[in-house]
Amino acid sequence: MTRWRITVEYDGTGYVGWQRQDNGPSIQQSLEEAVYKFCGETVRVFGAGRTDAGVHALGQVAHFDIDRETRPDTVRDALNAHLREQLISVLAVEEASAVFNARTSARERVYLYRILNRRPQPALENARVWHVGIPLDAEAMHEAAQRLVGKHDFTSFRASMCQAKSPVKTLDALSVERSGEEIHIYARARSFLHHQVRNIVGTLERVGAGKWTGDDILAALEAKDRSAAGPTAPSDGLYLVSVGYG
């Protein structure tokens, strides 16, 4: 039996998220069905991040085990052939050790959130950005974001349905930068709480709009109460960029 590590990009629009569910198609289900069509084996595909409905990925990492002897490029091309009707693409495939686990072996996850900050609504990037029509101050957002870097109790930025055992996480980096008409927010940590990035983005948008300050961000963090922070940003603008392994 061989364990295969795959790197996947996908447009999360129209999917219920990474994890297989009964209420619609998922990325996990689509990959598992592609593996079955390739080699006739029923497998479980384990992902590094359980992205929510509508969330995209540029570098999701996953693994699965099959008995069939084959080559990495054959696995890649076969899976993509069976995924050609979907907005999912297997970018790379490599053989992994038996102890490798896409989720638990991960040491770093990087997310990007894209805000389209202009008056006209998007035509080509619809469902891939959060459109905010009022001008946002990216520098103020970045300065305020630094209050959240480090090890904290992120209860105020945690979804009510989050299943993590503890709200304490270490946010290694959080940056906000303007790129033309877009504002890009990058977050890096070993792991994140459910909706943590989207809740942070929704809160930072208030700073960019001039409604909050960095002190308000700190007060929301220290409150350890979800209602003290800002709204949850839409899933459309969120991307799992990469997963790092030690």
Distances (CA, A) of 45 to 27, 28, 35, 177, 210: 10, 6, 9, 35, 44
Residues 246, 107: contact at Cβ < 8 Å? yes
Q: Can you tell me the distance from the alpha carbon of 233 to that of 162, in angstroms, rounded to the nearest whole number?
A: 16
Place of tokens 């008056």: 119
Chain-centre distance of CA 209, in angstroms?
Answer: 25
Between CA 185 and CA 1 the distance in angstroms is 41
Whether 52 sits among the annotated catalytic residues: the reply is yes
Say which of 52, 65, 73, 153 is annotated catalytic: 52
Measured CA to CA, the distance from residue 177 to residue 113 in angstroms comes to 11
Interatomic CA distance for residues 51 and 236, integer angstroms: 12
Supply the DSSP string of 146-190, one letter for each residue: GGG-EEEE-GGGS-TT---S-SEEEEEEEEEEEETTEEEEEEEES
Q: Is the dihedral of CA 39, 41, 46, 52 positive or negative?
A: positive
Residue 58 sits at φ, ψ, to 5 deg, of: -100, -25
C-beta neighbour count of 61 within 10 angstroms? 26
Catalytic residues: 52
